[in-house]
A and B are shown apart, each in its own frame.
Chain A
């Protein structure tokens, strides 16, 4: 079976985020697998998760889901009469988990709403389902207005703005480069996340780090919202230590041929303006999709297991995986 196609199909449901889609794809793999022993099953699952990771340009969030499901499978008490029964049980449990996981956003929203004061201005970044849920929930009881960053290169901030305006929340799209300008008007920053890592830090759409640093400098609280299935056993030491980093990112173009340099230097300098010769796509190609926000910049992480400090996140992860 083509696990990547399955993953893509699961992802079509707007409510399903990449880690959950990865879990569902692995559940399907589990259901169709012909493995006769636990060892074979885990091997098949590992292969499936590897192929998912290879296909995806950004493997971090997929990896979080895969790791969670494989850890669950290996730790699941197998006292069933036959192995096929056990497999069916695993599939059932996997589906139950995903169904439960879909209620997590609501839970997180309820936790986070208490931290939003009436008549406050909120800054958010790009598009995140859990942030949307929280903002819509807050809108019911409080007056809020929202700044949302444009979030180049994907430009998903516009999507957030459309949805919020439709719901009647005053909302303005600001440039990624205007965050510092807007920060003094902001009461708190709410961002979603691709993954929360073991240091207590956050991996999210590129630009989150800028916002976190500016918020810290302006002494504004920076809240991250993350479902617990996004918690990931990974410890990036720097931006370049992320699995998504590759040599293409931030690479310099090959040097221009000497002849052309000489030719251009002899030709007269164009008098009016300068010509645009690089497209948005070309810029995006050499730029990262995600960045890593250090734990010391984050005030709180709201998750379905509670409101955690970054230290609490790492304690939870150590307790969950180190045992």
Chain B
């Protein structure tokens, strides 16, 4: 999930505290320059690629204007379909129509550089997020919490204020900055909500340093209890479902599934794995090239295939194990684009589908499809994997990052409270006691 493990983040670069003021300014400057440069060459390109250069200057893409121009286009289209300007606006219309459908998918909002008082470690993290150097729900959540620990330690309560009242107003712009780099994941949202609760509940009479230490301790506890220990329990539970001679099929890359497979192997179970991967992220190829993650020989026998090969491989599988981005209360699993396809195909061939997911990924909302909320992969990062040139007219490249697997296609969700059928996900919060979630 993370190319750069979040725990190594503070060590991999001189810590923010040890950076000189000049260095910090340089970083900010660089960041600002990058932000300013991006709208010109990256953000506009996928949207305005098919546009002739002149039109690009005239109509900067925006949902409101897109609506107007499409309406205009239809009006002029009915009047005179053959005239050149009408043709132009027809092309405009078809393009803006596709934009209108997918414009709500979160593309990074590249604001004018760093706004307000943003801590350098947040600036750095935002860059790592937007460049997909840290990606995956767990990695992003852990990285965010670790960065917030630094922010909290560097924070000074202004005079005539209390920490419990003021710290959140200090953190809000940091969160906004992170969200502008990449839409917030459900895991981050849950963790931040818990952090807010802890901050507002911290004792007013406590000395400031003690209060900050206590908050950092709570953050550490959260990471340990909800992510690390939860993963260990999930490993134990999921391993009981792997037997000698099984063939486990997995899709894309999930840190939990990876851990489950490795720990089952360490327990002496002999099974094989089919790894299915897909564009645009091709996450697994990173795993395969990373030797340190592969178990010592004899390794687990693996088959690597791309998504189109799934139908011929699914019959070989005895069990499908998937990771998740978030879990919704109707039992639907929001996960890497393509997961739904794998789960549906497995259901069709009556292969059990296990989703490995910590309970802190659960979201109270109900999701019905992957269109209402999604995220687009920034095409400038993954363009190298495209077989076609994006220069063609009327061509828009759409890379949604996630999709929604309906609960009917999932046999069980492996959480730290046990194997649970997707229909009973909503009873976890009551079982755990509402406060924890």
Residue pair A322, B419 in contact (C-beta under 8 Å): no
B124 to chain A: closest CB distance in Å? 39
Q: A237-B354, A322-B418 are in contact. Are A199 and B412 (CB under 8 A)?
A: yes
Q: Does B36 contact A (CB under 8 A)?
A: no
CB neighbours (8 Å) of A253 from chain B are none
Interface string of A226-253 (1 = CB under 8 A from B): 0000000101011001000000000000
A59, B292: Cα distance in complex, Å = 42
> Please, how many residues of chain B have a CB less than 8 angstroms from a CB on the other chain?
20
- Decide: A318 near B420, CB < 8 A? Known: A237-B319, A237-B411, A323-B431: yes
Bits for B418-437, please: 1 = Cβ < 8 Å to A, else 0: 11110110111011110000
For residue A292, give the distance in angstroms from its CB to the closest CB of chain B: 12
Say whether A315 faces chain B, with CB atoms less than 8 Å apart: yes
What's the minimum C-beta distance from A202 to chain B, rounded to whole angstroms?
14
Q: How far is the CA of A294 from the CA of B418 in the complex (A)?
A: 18
CB distance from B250 to the nearest CB of A (A): 15
Q: Tell whether B417 is near chain A: CB-to-CB under 8 Å.
A: yes
Contact A311 B432 (CB under 8 A): no
Contact between B418 and A233 (Cβ–Cβ < 8 Å)? yes
Residue A295 at the chain B interface, CB threshold 8 Å: yes
Q: Does B173 contact A (CB under 8 A)?
A: no
Is B352 positioned at the interface, with any CB of A under 8 Å from its CB?
yes
Q: Chain B nearest CB: distance from A277 CB in Å?
A: 32
- Contacting A at CB under 8 A, from B383-437, are 411-412, 417-421, 423-424, 426-428, 430-433
Tally the A-B contacts, defined by beta carbons under 8 Å: 55
Find out whether the CB atom of B427 lies under 8 angstroms from the CB atom of A319: yes
Judge if A67 is at the interface, Cβ distance under 8 Å: no
**CB of B241 within 8 A of chain A?**
yes
In angstroms, how far is the closest chain B Cβ from the Cβ of A149? 25
A321 in contact with B319 (CB, 8 Å):
no
Say yes or no for A198: interface residue by CB 8 A criterion. Answer: yes
Which chain B residue shows the least CB distance to A200?
B421
**Closest Cβ of chain A: how far from B79's Cβ, in Å?**
57
Question: Which residue of the partner chain B has the closest CB to A321?
Answer: B418
A198 engages B427 (CB within 8 Å)? no
CB contacts (< 8 Å) of B241 on chain A: these are: 237, 241
Chain A residues proximal to chain B, CB less than 8 Å: 198-200, 233, 235, 237-238, 241, 295, 311, 314-315, 318-319, 321-323
Q: A198-B418, A237-B241, A315-B423 are in contact. List 18 more A-B contacts (CB 8 A).
A: A199-B412, A200-B423, A235-B419, A237-B354, A311-B421, A311-B423, A314-B420, A314-B424, A315-B424, A315-B427, A318-B424, A318-B428, A319-B427, A319-B430, A322-B420, A322-B432, A323-B431, A323-B432
Can you list 12 pairs linking A and B with CB atoms under 8 Å apart? A198-B420, A200-B423, A235-B419, A241-B241, A311-B423, A311-B424, A318-B417, A319-B427, A319-B430, A322-B420, A322-B431, A322-B432
